[in-house]
Amino acid sequence: MTKNWAGNHEYAARRVLTPTSVEELQDVVGSAERVRALGTRHSFTDVADTVGDLVSTVGLPAEIEVDGDRRVVRVSGGVRYGDLAATLQERGWALATMASLPHISVAGAIATGTHGSGDRTGSLAAAVAGLDLVGADGARRSVARGEEDFAGHVVALGALGVTTHVTLDVEPTYDVRQDLYTDLPWDDALANFDALTSSAYSVSLFTDWSSGRVGQVWLKGRGDTAPPDLFGAPAAARTLHMLAGADTAAVTRQGGVAGPWNRRLPHFRMEFTPSRGEELQSEYLVPRPRAVEAIGRLRDLASLFDGLLQVTEVRTIAADDLWLSGAYGGDAVGLHFTWVRDVPGVYAVLPRIEEALLPLGARPHWGKCFLATAEQLRPAYPRMDDFHALAARHDPGGKFGNSFLERHLGLARRAV
């Protein structure tokens, strides 16, 4: 049976269907007892799984329609961000942000709250101006920004239907330069945290926690200059990969050479597989006012990560109003763990991480490894009950329900 990208989860679905038209998709969804949408399989859990049928949208026509007057693009949900970005660049348009991987599908990334980095830049989902879906009854429907409950539809974990098209905000194309700095002591980074994360359009901090240092700082700037050093940290003398010993051919151009936004904002090139091939990931988004405290708690846990952690990335995300977003209601800081693919080992340390971070208001990335239950997460999501009501209206029979939604959102499943 089909496995996810990381190879740690084998889907329990009876079959994977790949319709080639929206009409065929409507027939599949309308006649199914249980069904879930499957994107590019980059989630590390059973968020997209089902005991019924999985339906992939990769076979649907790949449509990309730019409306320059409205500054939006309407794109098929199964299109990968890297392909969308290349088309936009060719036509003189751009997105405000991209995730580290350009290989992920538009609909799947949005549904799980995936993000890039930037103090003033929202997640990928924050750019959504409209969604077209196939609902539980097989009928097509659309929702647009400004409509009632729109903010509950965007980061929705597939619980409200199968997304066929997404409308995204765009802006005129721009260039980005990427400059790296090395060996910044954590004490200096935390003393200058706000200045550090605002020092470029997009900033990423990479650490192993045990060294007491931010091993690499990646600045992605829209200007034509960069500082010679960063709070005492020297500029990198060569191209670097955030994973020790990994092939630098996979990363996007560094060294301060400006280039199109779509070739700099992602960490990895579209034409390469970015990972060593075996990894797990976790991420917790903490309210920005608690970020320095959260980092301090993780530094205290550094010994737990020995032999498990490849690297942690720290990024910032601007606030939005999307009910299940990690940045709902306030700016957030993402604490992202790239682990070795040791499932028992990783899940053994997650309780300690969550014990440290959940009391600070941390929210897990929905597509990555975590344990927190719906009751544990309820305080961090003020609109949780509203989302339950929205799901009950649009999927009263629980067609799109699964174990993940039951565990982590408290959405009850209909008996088969």
What percent of the chain has pLDDT above 70? Answer: 98
Confirm whether 11 is domain-assigned. no
Domain for residue 95, yes or no? yes
Average pLDDT over residues 379-408: 97
> What is the helix (H) or strand (E) element at residue 205, kind and residue range?
strand 202-207
Q: Quickly state the pLDDT bin for 276 (edges 50, 70, 90).
A: low
Output DSSP code: residue 85.
H
Q: 370: which 2 tokens?
A: 């975590």
In a domain, 309, yes or no: no
pLDDT at 415: 45
Residue 158 lies in a domain: yes
Q: How confident is the model at residue 278 (pLDDT cuts 50, 70, 90)?
A: confident
| CATH code of 127's domain | 3.30.465.10
372 vs 352: CA distance, rounded Å: 11
C-alpha pair distances (Å), 350 with each of 42, 88, 122, 282, 357: 20, 39, 27, 9, 10
- Give residue 414's pLDDT: 54
From the CB of residue 249, how many other CB atoms can be counted at a distance below 10 Å? 10
Place of tokens 């199914």: 32
pLDDT of residue 413: 64
Across residues 290-298, what is the average pLDDT? 98
Average pLDDT, the chain: 95
Helix (H) or strand (E) holding 184: strand 175-185
Rounded CA-CA distance 222/284 in Å is 27
| C-beta of residue 302 within 8 angstroms of C-beta of residue 135 | no
CA distances (Å), origin 132, targets 65, 71, 154, 294: 14, 18, 11, 38
pLDDT at 400: 97
Per the structure, the count of domains in the chain is 1
Contact 175, 259 (CB under 8 A): yes
At 416, the pLDDT band (50, 70, 90 cuts) reads very low
Separation of alpha carbons 335 and 298, rounded Å: 9
Confidence band of 275 (pLDDT split at 50, 70, 90): low
Residue 361 pLDDT class (50, 70, 90 cuts)? very high
Residue 1 has a pLDDT of 59
| Bridge partners (DSSP) listed for residue 53 | 15, 35
State mean pLDDT over 240-267: 95
What span, in angstroms and rounded, lies between the C-alpha atoms of 133 and 141? 5
CB contact set of 64 (below 8 Å; sequence gap of 6+): 73, 74, 75, 76, 79, 84, 87, 88
Confidence check: pLDDT of 411 > 70:
yes
DSSP labels for 130-179? EEEEE-TTS-EEEEETTSTTHHHHSS-TTSS-EEEEEEEE-EE--EEEEE
- The kind and range of the H/E element at 186 are helix 186-191
User: How many Cβ atoms sit within 10 Å of the Cβ of residue 74?
Assistant: 17
pTM of the predicted model as reported, rounded to 2 decimal places: 0.96
Residue 73 CB burial class (10 angstroms; 0-12, 13-18, ≥19): buried
Confidence at 2, pLDDT banded by 50, 70, 90: confident
Which range of residues forms the domain containing residue 75?
64-173
**How does pLDDT run across 30-43, given as a tens digit for each residue?**
999 999 999 899 89
- Whether residue 226 is contained in a domain is answered as no
In the prediction, which pLDDT does 272 show? 83
Does 129 score more than 50 pLDDT?
Answer: yes
* b/e code 3-26 from CB counts within 10 Å (16+ = b): ebbbebbebebeeebbbeebeebb
**Alpha carbons 207 and 310: distance in angstroms, whole number:** 9
Work out the average pLDDT over 177-189.
Answer: 98
Instruction: Answer yes or no: is 253 within a domain.
Output: no
Kindly tell me if the per-residue pLDDT of 239 is higher than 90.
yes
